[in-house]
Structure formats: structure tokens, C-alpha cells
A and B are shown apart, each in its own frame.
Chain A
């Protein structure tokens, strides 16, 4: 048995049964990191010493009977936009190159409270803006299935780390698909919870009204277990929701008899890779065979989701990112004359192209005279999209469709045409606009031997429906985790 093949829950069980120790698991993960990082580059920062020290402490806690949860002793990776006290947090940006937070994000705190061991911080698109992890100032991450391809983004580092077995599971963040799309590209399972479920306190904001932290894991069961740990009402986040029935693992039944599943025709049409369409159709068939009722329907408004998303997310980002100014922390330009010159040079040098593009777009749509035409209209569109989903969930328990229109593109292809890259978010962004939970589950491999993900979308607070459907589908799959039966590498 290779420790690295275990899921997080399996590892947790073995540690609990004293078949393995937290230290052995951490050492195994760190060995995998040191032998593979030069190839994949999943991490911006790895803190071996701290991870080993913490593994020792957690092992003591476990032996003393104080750490009893399913994730006690499990080594995890955390996306580099989630603050970790004393551990550099860069958002993969030059402007936060030397930024060491003075506090830990609530989600990371919850994870550590459950006995997880943070190995390091994963690479991402700069400030989570991008779909390939290529906009990172610290170099690109490569897809472990084929290193000529991108891992997706923006949580590309987290998804690649799980796929490359450099972490047993990870935290990502999802503003317009940033957990689900790289999960589908890397053949791992990623869940974006209902807005308000996981505290945003300590998540360095991109689009505040859309951002959610969520789990990235090898399978649905791990996602459910992680989500249980992450779901904590947080008085430090005004948008945090007091959730009821957070026993997400209880939905791991495999039973979908009578479950009503809708497939939006709008998600299956033009622009979708036929191999992915086939995977979704196979998934539908597999679920039908288990007793689910599947039908197609018209979701509508899908074509408006991308413009509305880029207006809202960029507007919020233009304001959220204004605090990075060289005054208080982070990068400051070497030479400058006066305050305004310092601001200008610091921000011009500190931010990458994609971030600057979105700051400019966001500043434009908020500027006087354009606010109503762009920002207000986008907010109204957002409300209409939410209504369209609400109508759908009167008829269906979950919605099934593709996660992304294609599998992982080659490195260097996407950034040439940002508009085309934005269109890659077509099936994911509307979910953020409506604040809904959704999960990408690997289902099928294309002819380039790259993984395909299908997406389950649930109504507000209906993570359990998503998990139930995802878990049932997973049971019909030939392989349960990257590389375990079929697949690359």
C-alpha cells in the first residue's frame, strides 16, 4: 500500500487505528512534494519544518484522545489567497511577495482545529483572476495528467497538488468556477458551497459577493467530510449564514431513487466539446439506471451570465485591490517621487496584466455616468439568473451538466485571447451569481487522455442533494481517484 493513494478519510482512519502516524503521512507528502515540485510547481510556499513540527503535535493530540475527527493528522494544502498567520500569503502576486499575515483565516483555523496539517500554500492565478494558473507571478503550474497542459484555475495549484498526490486534499476558492473548473481539468473532485456557508474572513477578496472557499479532494466523500469541518457560522463575516443540518457525510448513501435531475439544454449546445457532452449523457444514463428521473429543460439567460459576472466581479475587485498600495505591507517600488508616483509605480509593477485589466474594467463600470448602465444592470441580471435557477429547483433536486466546455488547454494558449478564456467560465459563473452550491465530479477521459468533469448544481443550502448525486455517480465510475485504475501518469 502506498500512503499517497489513500483518500483523506482513509488516511484519517488508519491514523486513528494507529496503523499510521500523522508524522509518517506528512513525511510521505513532503517527499512527494520534493520529488515532483520541479515538474508540477503546485505550491508557492512549502513549510516543511512547520508541517513536521505540527504533525508531531497533532499525533500527540490524537494519542491523548483530544483530536478525534476524520481529518486528524491529514496533511492538506491551502490556496495562497487564504491567510495563514506566520506563513507567507501571496495571492500569487508580486505585490504581496513578502506578505506574512498577522492572523489566520477562519476556514484555515477550522481545518487546523480538526487536526489537519497545513503543508504549504498553493499556486493560483494572481488574485484568483484567471482560468489557467498562468497569471501567477511565481510561475505556471502544470497539469499532472500532461505537463504540456494547464491545470485550470484559479485554484490550479490546489487541484494539481491533490491530483499529483502532493496533498491529500486542499482548500480552494471559487468566484466564477475557480474550484470546479481546475478540478475537472485535474480529475479531482471540488465543491463550491452555497454563498455564506464557509467564512470569508481571511480570504483575500476578489469578488466579495461571489467568493466562497471550498474543498478540493480525491473523491466526494472527502469533499463532504471537509465541508462539514469548514461549515462554521462566523460572527467575523457579516455574510456568514447559520446553517442547519450540516451533516453532509450523511448524504453519502449512493441512493438516488426518485431523485429529479434536470439537464439544461443551454449547457449542452454550441461550444461544448462533443466528448464532454457524451460524458454528461453517460452520467445521466448511469444515474437513470439507479432510479433517478432525468430530463432536459431550458434554464435560460445563460448567455448573460458571463458579462454580468465580469462586470460585478471586476467592479468589486477594483475596490478590493485598492488596499495594495505600497503603504502598509507588500511590495513598494524602489524609486519614486512623492505619494502619487509611489502609488502608480508600485501598482504598475506589483500587479500583472490580467489583474490590471480587471481593475481597469471594474473602475470603468463603476465610474460616474456608467454605473447604471453597467453595474446596476449586471446586478439586475444577477437577480434574474437567481430567479431562473429558483424556478428550475421547483422541478429538480439537482441540475447536471458539464463543468467546462473543454478539457485542459495547452500551456500558453489561453492568455492570447482573454475573451475566449472568459467564455470558458460559461457553465460555472451563473452558479456564483445565484450563490448556489455546485460540485465537479470526474467522469470520463478524452482522447488526449485528459480528465472530464461533470457538474452538479443544487438549490440554496442543498449541498446534500449535490453530494448524494455526486457520490452515486462516482460509484459507477471505473476509477475512484486520479490514477487509481485508469488515467494518466
Chain B
């Protein structure tokens, strides 16, 4: 590469809001119902039906706007975006073009290169479309309108990012803010958070933008990083070859690690936006705005500081724990019950993260109750079970949210703390293994390990290893 290039990236991020009902009707937003069961005349575009705005959507959008340092348009309105597609029952999407609810904000991101601000051009509210299912066998397409009318916000950034790392940091920042606000679970894989990447390259030092492309179908952080790398290289290759980049929308194929053109600017549609006459302008009073502002929960940065101060958790651990709203919630709820923040942190940082990795899950998927983890910690503290048994029980809690007390009792896993019984068993082991005893006495101190193992085996793992060691040493050193 002869010249130095700079990559310029802006993001359009769609986030599904966690409201119970849809944006313009009372239908459930629940994911995964039988096709067309969460529908009504409004979200199926029946003739004569009319939209009525869900207030919670406005409140979530305002909360996200405030948390990202945006200005709020206190008089905003909805516009219709007109285009024909069968997943869009009215053949127009109700969105915001002329007066989006939030504008001109920023978030701070941190990468290896340091801290920087990424500008937010606007955040607007809109409705999601239904889902098309292509029936290969029946040679037809079917439409499921369950998702039609699920509320979305679209967060449009300024073209302020210069690398995949910055993009990931920005997305991670948005995800955490929105999760902390409770406005969405932001799962990329399930599509509750979707990012389109606008990317162009230019010679370093240039102050004009190159021609950009828009990339879609990016459903993991890794895919986004790979797509940015791939698209950057594709554009540089074109320029180096003396060709020009075409402004177009491209679809990323993560398995082939290549993007394919979907549509070019020439066939870009004219959406004929105009204010939706069915919806009155939204007027946000100062009081309403203030109420939302005062209700803003503790966000990640503040929480991280508090964990360090209040619970004496090290920086790295605090970052991990607050790096997921779900993890932080479990940490706080469990600590509130058992009052042992360090132990709780250890279980989350250790076993929990290990099992998540093993099950290929995200912290957001955690389903166990803080009560059960607190109880387990209590049982270990009291010596009811030993650490090894506790790990086994935790797996049960992790996968099935099992009550640890009942499980331990059912499987007879209580530690044997009756010293008399333990001593009798150890004496038997010592008698049965003269060679090991001789080795030990002869100076091979490691031989005790074998005897501990034999004892644990005989006790079916229920002995406290500390107690076994102690008794063994007493007998052997006599």
C-alpha cells in the first residue's frame, strides 16, 4: 500500500425497546409466539385501523437520549416512510424524519488509543416490520406480523469512528447504557440490537469524505469487526486499482467473509416522507422531561466506581461485573442477601463466567436466582458442603436454578464433620496402604496425597479435605 488510508465509519443502530405492548396498538411484543397470534387490525394494516402511540416508547427514547447527552425535541412528530414490501402491512413505516425525538448527543468511548467522543446525530422512534418466511416446498412466501409494530429506536451516529475497535467500543457503550436503562436487552444475535455500518476510506490528512457504502446483516460484534476489515480492504483495493467506490448498500456474508451489493444509489427509493396525519405531534412538557431525568438509574461508570469504593472490588473485577447489566444485577441482589460481596464476586467471576463460556452463552442469558447463589455461599461458609461439592451444586443452580439445600440433601452431599467416623475410615486406609505410609515416613511427604485421595474416595467426596489432611498428619506423624 503506497499511501496511508484512514477509515471513516458511522453507525445506524436499531434497538428493539422492552415495552410489553407494541408502539401503536395493545398487542404483546413477546418473542416467539405462533405466527400472527400477537396481531390486531392496527399491526396488520387492516383498512380503517388507526395508530395510538405507546407512551412508554417515548419515555424509553427520552431516557436513552438523556443518557447519551442528546438534546430533546420537546415537540416532535411522526412521519410516514412510504415503500412497498410485504412484511410492511401498510406499505409505509411510521418513523421520524423531520423532527426526531433526540438530536446532537455524544458518548465517550475508550480504546487502546485512549478516550474519545463519538457524536450522535439523532435518535428517532419507529415501528418494526413483520417477518417473511419463504416456503421452499410450497413455492410461496408467508408473512408473520407478530413483530410488526414492535417499537424500535434508531440511533444514528456521526461519522466519527476510525477503526473496528472504536466501533465495537461504541456499540458496547450503547449496549450498556440501554441495558442499564432497562430500555432493551440489546442482543445482537436475536436481533434486538442491529447495526448497519456506513464506511468510506480516504487518504490520511484529507478533510473530504470518500464515497461510502452501507453494510447490513451484521449480527455479532465479531462479524462487525470482520466486515469493517473486509470492506475497508475492498475499498482501498478499488482505489489503488484506479477504480471508484460505488455508493450502495451491501450485505455482509460472515461465513464467506465477503460483502455483496444489495442495491445501488441509482435504484434508491424515494420514500416520500410526510407527517403522519393519524398521529398528533408529541409535546414533551418540561415536567415530563424532568421526571424522566430524575428517574434515570445509576449507569455503568458510576456503578463501577461504587463497586470499588463500597465493596472493595478490584478494578478488573468491577469492570467485568458492571460490563453486563444482568451480571451487576445478580451481584447486587446476591450481596444484599448474603452480605458477602467478595464471595459473590468470586462465584460470578469464576464459575459463572466459565460455565457461560462452556454453554456458549452471554451474561444476559443468566437465569438463576440470587437467592440460590446466596444460599450456596452460606452453605460453604457454614461448612455444610465443601468447595468441590459446591461447584457441582452450582452447575445445577446455573443450569436449572435448583434449590441448593434440597439438592445437597437429596444427593447426600453434606460434608462429614463427625471426626470420629472420619478418623475410623482414615485408620482403615492407613492400615490398607503400608507402602504409602512407609514412603511418607521415609521422607516422601507427597505420598500423603495418595492417602487423602483414597480417603475422599472412601467418603464418596463428602469429607472436608482440610479435616482429612489434619487427621492423616496426626496419625502418620505419631
Instruction: List residues of chain A with CB under 8 Å of any chain B CB.
Output: 81-83, 89, 91, 96, 99, 101-103, 105, 200-205, 207-209, 235-239, 315-316, 318-319, 322-325, 327-329, 339, 343, 363, 366-368, 371, 375
Contacts and interface: CB of A to CB of B under 8 A. Distances in A.
Interface in B269-310: 270, 272-274, 277-280
A237 B90 CA distance: 17
A101 B279 CA distance: 23
B52 A236 contact: yes
B49 A201 contact: yes
Interface residues of B, number: 28
A290 B53 CA distance: 49
A239 B51 CA distance: 10
A238 B278 contact: yes
Contact of A99 (B47, B80, B86, B272): B47
A237 B82 contact: no
Interface string B85-103: 0100111100000000000
A322 B92 CA distance: 8
Contact of A239 (B48, B90, B280): B280
A81 B48 CA distance: 8
19 contacts: A101-B47, A101-B48, A102-B41, A200-B50, A201-B49, A201-B50, A208-B277, A237-B50, A238-B280, A316-B274, A319-B82, A319-B274, A323-B89, A324-B47, A325-B86, A328-B143, A366-B82, A366-B272, A368-B270
B46 interface: yes
Interface in B310-364: none
| Minimum-distance CB pairs A-B, first 3 | A322-B91, A209-B277, A366-B272
A201 B46 CA distance: 11
A349 B236 CA distance: 50
A316 B280 CA distance: 15
B44 interface: yes
A327 B46 CA distance: 12
Interface centre among B44, B272, B280 (most CB of A within 10 A): B272
A91 B46 CA distance: 14
A15 B273 CA distance: 53
Contact of B272 (A236, A324, A368): A368
Contacts of A205: 47-48, 278
B58 to A, nearest CB: 13
B45 interface: yes
B47 A322 contact: no
Contacts of A200: 48, 50
Contacts of A325: 84, 86, 91
Contacts of B273: 366, 371
A319 B270 CA distance: 13
Interface in B217-275: 270, 272-274
A96 B80 CA distance: 23
B269 to A, nearest CB: 10
Given A203-B48, A239-B280, A371 B274 contact: yes
A260 B48 CA distance: 39
Given A204-B47, A319-B92, 19 more contacts: A101-B48, A103-B49, A200-B48, A205-B47, A205-B48, A236-B50, A238-B51, A238-B52, A238-B279, A239-B277, A316-B277, A318-B272, A322-B91, A325-B86, A329-B47, A363-B272, A367-B272, A371-B272, A371-B273
B273 to A, nearest CB: 8
Contacts of A329: 46-47
Nearest to B92: A319
A66 B128 CA distance: 45
A97 to B, nearest CB: 13
A337 to B, nearest CB: 13
A208 B47 CA distance: 12
A322 B84 contact: yes
B350 to A, nearest CB: 53
A103 B277 CA distance: 22
Contact of B44 (A91, A239, A328, A368): A328
Interface in B37-86: 41, 44-53, 80, 82, 84, 86
A323 B87 CA distance: 11
A366 B84 contact: no
Nearest to A330: B47
B199 to A, nearest CB: 25
A102 B52 contact: no
Contacts of A89: 47
A327 B51 contact: no
B325 to A, nearest CB: 34
A102 B84 contact: no
Contacts of A343: 84
A325 B91 CA distance: 8
A41 B86 CA distance: 36
Contacts of A368: 270, 272
B45 A328 contact: yes
A319 B84 CA distance: 10
Contact of B91 (A81, A96, A99, A323): A323
Nearest to A312: B277
Contacts of B48: 81-83, 101, 105, 200-205
